[in-house]
Amino acid sequence: MSGVPTILYRDAHLEIVDKPTGVAVAAGRDGDHASSLLGQLGLRLCHRLDVGTSGVLVLARTEHGQRLVSAAFERGAVEKTYLALVAGDLSDAGVVDLPLGDWKRGRVQIGRGRPARTRFAVLARGVHRARVHAWPETGRTHQIRAHLSAVGAPIVGDEDYGGPAAARIYLHAARIVLPWPTADDRLVIEASEPAGFA
């Protein structure tokens, strides 16, 4: 995947893209807006993906679109599915229900702060590796990264949370289901799996 996002869906109010890894969604702490995805595309932010995370990202073309998506996120009506490659051993399925705190020195505090809940299921296993689907039920910063690390299965490439070094953080926003005023009242958008997750 190159540094240019692929458009997955577009209408008068939304633009949903497949964000490449390594691309910032919004201006970072250095204030460099021009090189961010929002700066390049001139769109409105609906939610975030970390720089190292690839996959489905919902952006708004209008204020009305941004309001509709933000309201859906606030009432918990958006379903997100992530794909991760993790190191370590993990049970076949489970729930991580640990609060997450403030972001400091590249990571969030685990075990105190705001409530956070993530469900996961193992798709396939290798030697001390697993392909995992994760479904965040809340939307905290670094939630999947912190929660998988907390259960002994840090994401490959996520050195901030104890994962082994790799060319990228192996976390991909694979699918989103979003209430939307279309013929069937919802959008289901998927981003192709990047190379290296097998």
Q: What does DSSP assign to residue 52?
A: T
HEC-encoded secondary structure of 35-71: CCHHHHHCCEECCCCCCCCEEEEEEECCHHHHHHHHH
| Residues 158, 185: Cα–Cα separation, whole Å | 36
How would CATH label the architecture of 80-171? 2-Layer Sandwich (3.30)
pLDDT given for residue 28 in this prediction: 57
| Tokens, residue 30 | 């250095």
pLDDT digit string (tens) for 86-120? 998 899 999 999 999 988 888 999 999 999 999 99
| Tokens, residue 156 | 């490959």
| Exposed/middle/buried for residue 137 (C-beta within 10 Å: 0-12, 13-18, 19+) | middle
| Exposed/middle/buried for residue 177 (C-beta within 10 Å: 0-12, 13-18, 19+) | middle
Active site positions, annotated = 50
Tokens 């994962």, residue located: 163
pLDDT given for residue 29 in this prediction: 54
How would CATH label the architecture of 6-79+176-190? 2-Layer Sandwich (3.30)
Q: Which of 119, 80, 78 is nearest to 97 (CA)?
A: 119
66 φ, ψ (degrees, to nearest 5):
-60, -40
Q: Cα dihedral sign for 2, 12, 82, 37?
A: positive
Domain ranges in the chain are 6-79+176-190, 80-171
Tens of pLDDT, residue by residue, the chain (198 residues): 457 889 999 999 999 999 999 988 876 555 554 556 666 677 999 998 999 999 999 999 999 999 999 999 999 999 999 999 999 889 999 999 999 998 888 899 999 999 999 999 999 999 889 999 999 999 999 999 999 999 999 999 999 999 999 999 999 999 999 999 986 899 999 999 998 887
Q: pTM score > 0.85 for this model?
A: yes
Fold agreement (6-79+176-190, 80-171): yes
